[in-house]
Amino acid sequence: MAKADKPLSGKSALVIGGSRGMGAAIAKRLGADGANVAITYLSNAKAAKAVTAACTKSGGKSLAVKADAGDTAATGKAIKRAAKTLGGLDILVYSPVSIGGGKIDEITEETFDRAVAVNVKGLFFAAQTAAGIMNDGGRIIAIGSVFSQFVPLPGLDMYAMSKSAMMGLVKAWARDLAERNICVNCIQPGPIHTDMNDPTNDFGKLLASMTALKRHGKVEEIAGMASYLAGPTGGYVTGTILNCDGGMTL
């Protein structure tokens, strides 16, 4: 039985897009909670190594696999490798993102396809592969965005569209996988302080001003929500869209 301070002891998790930002924080938190943790990364092997080192320091197994989230074959192989190395799969977190900025008259077919490949197609086939090998009672957690429901600025077309699709998939999968007691949920962050989102520049200050708390969130706050959904006390939550946005969408 897992100890209270290690609620995920004996569990195995894979964080797709786990080398930076929210994905890295989630991977480290799951490791601290006792899980064996694998991550995928796109290009920064050094950052990925730092994440796996932190997870190993927490006492579990860890590995990093290079795989483009927009390449379904590569991601599928990474999922199977993670499950084989860690001795199974209990938790899948899908965290990569393609923002694909631009207004309606600026979007190219290439931009459209990349956003869909990473944010929608990549998620779908990662979840399909993971569900096929996941232990009953597992968890699938998608990292979405409040911009799926709230579009405060122009130029968020592809991001809003693809993240909205994520919500629909999560609700459908919650029904599909309920008979196996696999819970599927979506966390929708608001503005979060990451290397891609600087709270000190003009755009960052504008986003913070739209929140009730007047600040950016911390990656650790997203990780804490993921920890809850992945842990034993989150077992009655499924098909739910959970905003973590500082009150941006009030």
Whichever domain contains 213, its CATH number is 3.40.50.720
* 3, part of any domain: no
Single-letter residue type at 183? C
**62, part of any domain:** yes
Strands, E assignment, 144-210: 183-189
Tell me how many domains the chain contains: 1
In a domain, 250, yes or no: no
> Residues 150-175: what's their mean pLDDT?
94
Three-class DSSP category at 244: strand
Per-residue pLDDT band for 11 (boundaries 50, 70, 90) equals very high
Active-site residue list: 159
> Measured between alpha carbons, how far is residue 242 from residues 113, 145, 189, 196 in Å?
27, 10, 8, 22
Q: What is the pLDDT of residue 158?
A: 92
Evaluate whether residue 84 is within a structural domain: yes
Does 94 reside within a domain?
Answer: yes
Query: Over the chain, what is the mean pLDDT?
Result: 95
The pLDDT assigned to 228 comes to 98
DSSP state of 155: T
Domain that holds residue 33: 12-244
* Residue 1 falls inside a structural domain: no
Domain assignment of residue 156, yes or no: yes
What pLDDT shows up at residue 45? 97
Answer whether residue 249 is part of any domain.
Answer: no
